[in-house]
Amino acid sequence: MPAAGAAPFAMQTAESQSVNAACWSCGCFVPAGKPWCDACGKIQAPSEGVDYFTVFGLPRKLLIDLTALERNFYRMSRKLHPDLYAQASPDERQWSLDQTSLLNDAYRTMKNPIARTEYLLRLEGVEIEAGRSEDGKPKDSRVPPDLLEEVFELNMQLEEMRMNRKMGEDDPQLRADLEKARTQFESQLAAVDTSLESLWTRWDEIVENASAGAEANKIKGEIIALLDRRRYIRNLVRDVNEALEN
Of these partners, Zn ion, other proteins, none, which one is at the site of residue 124 (CB under 5 to 8 Å by kind)? none
Sole binder of Zn ion in the list 6, 26, 66, 176 (CB under 5 A): 26
Q: How far is the CB of 7 from other proteins (least distance, A)?
A: 5
What torsion do the CA atoms of 109, 31, 97, 123 make, to the nearest 10 degrees?
-30
Asked if 52 interacts with other proteins (CB under 8 A), we say: no
Of these partners, other proteins, Zn ion, none, which one is at the site of residue 83 (CB under 5 to 8 Å by kind)? other proteins
Residue of 237, 117, 241, 244 whose CA lies nearest to 187: 237
Q: Taking CA 46 as the corner, what is the angle to CA 31 and CA 101, rounded to the nearest 5 degrees? A: 130
Asked if 77 interacts with other proteins (CB under 8 A), we say: yes
Residue of 32, 188, 207, 53 whose CA lies nearest to 115: 53
Binding piece for Zn ion, criterion CB under 5 A, among 23-31, 51-59, 170-178, 220-228: 23-31
Of these partners, other proteins, Zn ion, none, which one is at the site of residue 137 (CB under 5 to 8 Å by kind)? other proteins
Sole binder of other proteins in the list 10, 167, 210, 214 (CB under 8 A): 10
Count other Cβ atoms within 10 Å, centred on residue 180: 11
Subset of residues 99 to 138 that bind other proteins, contact rule: CB under 8 A? 100-102, 104-105, 107-108, 132, 135-137
Asked if 44 interacts with other proteins (CB under 8 A), we say: no
For residues 219 and 154, what is the distance between their CA atoms, to the nearest angstrom?
31
**C-beta closer to other proteins: residue 2 or 213:** 2
Asked if 81 interacts with other proteins (CB under 8 A), we say: yes
For residues 227 and 225, what is the distance between their CA atoms, to the nearest angstrom?
5
Return the DSSP state at 43: B
Asked if 22 interacts with Zn ion (CB under 5 A), we say: no
Contact code string over 181-220 relative to Zn ion, x by CB under 5 A: ----------------------------------------
Amino acid identity of 168?
G
What distances in angstroms separate CA 6 from CA 10, 95, 122, 135, 214, one per listed residue?
9, 27, 17, 8, 34
Residue of 84, 73, 23, 21 whose CA lies nearest to 47: 21
Q: Which residues bind other proteins (CB under 8 A)?
A: 1-7, 9-12, 74, 77-78, 81-83, 86-87, 97-98, 100-102, 104-105, 107-108, 132, 135-137
